[in-house]
A and B are shown apart, each in its own frame.
Chain A
Amino acid sequence: MADQGAENREYKFSEIIADPAIRARWEKVRKYFFLRESTYDMSNRCNIRCEGCYYFNGEKQFAEENLHVADWKKLMETEKERGITFVVLAGAEPSLVPQLCQTCYDVIPLGCIASNGLKVLPQEIDYRIHISVWGNDQTSLEIRKAKDMLARQIENYRNDPRAVWVYTFTPVNIDQAREVTELLADNGHQITFNMFSAPVGYNGHLRHTPQTLAHTRTTMSALLTDFPQTVLFSPYNIMAHTHERGLHDLFSCSYPRMNPSTDIGLGRSFRQYRTDLQWDRAAACCVPDTDCDDCRHYAAGSAVVTARMYRHATNPLTFSAWLDYVDTYLAVWVRGYEKSTNLCQEMIEPPKI
């Protein structure tokens, strides 16, 4: 456990990691620093249509589908050659093209698939599977136009260690997170949290306000306290994702869309391929077409907060919070990685630059 009053003096990094608990966590997470991600839209089709969907905004939805396994295999081999070690298969609904997901898995065996969970992905595709949930089934019916979503998702992925549910908090579903978490806990599943982040030009009722951010923060905290085995999150995740300032403002987004540097890191290696296997540097980020000023997306934070290690290595408390964030990120995204108990129970402010 980090020293709760240790943030008032300058620490050497060697002093920070001299704490046995911090050192152990540091050694645990740094083994995964080799992960280099890119993301891929797999299909331009989906079996449901949700209000505020990230895929069906902007130009990418109009890219032609490439369903040729050979082309995907060639793309994955090229990606592997240029150093990509982790793939995120998303948009619109990857489970509709399992043969392409399998092709990706055969070449790059670390990755994650974002799915609505209504169609089961074959067990042979041993990626992490993020199953999206936007509230209870009544809300899902209203926003996603799909009946019994959670019940069907749970049935489809019962006892499947690949699955983690991703609850997207919107202003209208905050109080439903508890019943969803309880249901997932009763079924032995795990959940992590996402924040609805408005697409460019979206001014609908799902956009968060300072009041809904604060309400979400208290709700997340209570759920993390009450369901520690079920909720994959940390106090610092809560702070970062419910802050009135968005992720870019807090941490300077390192995805190409907001980062002109091609020298190192995400600005150099990250690409977001569309269904025609083309990519556009100007639009490349984890959730293209999000309004960057409103971005609190879990995928963005997983890269952007994680990348800012140096600025968090100022004292044991702040570095512990960062380690919790990275530990959460790995548990959510990497198959077989087990979350540890959070080191920092305080909700500390992100470091000022």
Chain B
Amino acid sequence: MNVDISQTIIRIAEIIINELKLEDVTPQTFDPDLDLVDEVGVDSMDLATIALVLRDEYGIRIDEDDYPKLTTVRIIAEYINTKLADDE
């Protein structure tokens, strides 16, 4: 499956905004290169919650050891697209 990364980025941003109840930002205005930990304040439990929603959405497993690597929306999008490509 060849997924357009910009669509994935928008969808991940939407999930993060919903799960963290972020205000004053939309999926379109969410900077995909923001550091989720340092600049958005995401902690491990937030990330685990986001990972579960992504698991539902994309049907992929996110290894717990991979969490620390998932530092931006863009990196998460690339991670998901790679997983989806691997599953093809």
Contacts and interface: CB of A to CB of B under 8 A. Distances in A.
Interface of A: 12-14, 30, 33-34, 36, 83, 252, 254, 261, 263-266, 268-269, 307-311, 313, 353
Contacts of A264: 37, 42-44, 47, 67-68
Nearest to B55: A13
14 contacts: A12-B56, A33-B43, A33-B46, A263-B37, A263-B68, A264-B44, A265-B44, A269-B43, A307-B48, A309-B48, A309-B49, A310-B48, A310-B51, A353-B64
Contacts of A33: 43, 45-46, 49
Contacts of B69: 263
Given A13-B56, A14-B56, A261 B68 contact: yes
Where chain A touches its partner, the secondary structure class is: loop
Contacts of A307: 44-45, 48
Interface string B29-53: 0000000010001111111110111
Where chain B touches its partner, the secondary structure class is: helix
B53 A13 contact: yes
A266 B64 contact: no
B17 interface: no
Nearest to B64: A310
Given A261-B68, A310-B62, A311-B64, A13 B52 contact: yes
Nearest to B61: A310
A315 to B, nearest CB: 13
A345 B56 CA distance: 27
* Range, interface on chain B: 20 to 34
Given A30-B45, A269-B43, A310-B48, 19 more contacts: A13-B53, A14-B56, A33-B43, A252-B64, A254-B44, A261-B68, A264-B42, A264-B44, A264-B67, A264-B68, A265-B43, A268-B37, A307-B44, A307-B45, A307-B48, A309-B48, A309-B52, A310-B52, A353-B64
Contacts of A13: 52-53, 55-56
B71 interface: yes
Contacts of B49: 30, 33, 309
B56 A309 contact: no
A36 B42 CA distance: 12
A142 to B, nearest CB: 42
B57 to A, nearest CB: 9
Contacts of A261: 68
A266 B47 CA distance: 13
Contacts of A310: 48, 51-52, 62, 64
Nearest to A15: B56
Contacts of A308: 64
A307 B44 CA distance: 7
A184 B5 CA distance: 59
Contact of A313 (B37, B42, B43, B52): B52
B44 to A, nearest CB: 3
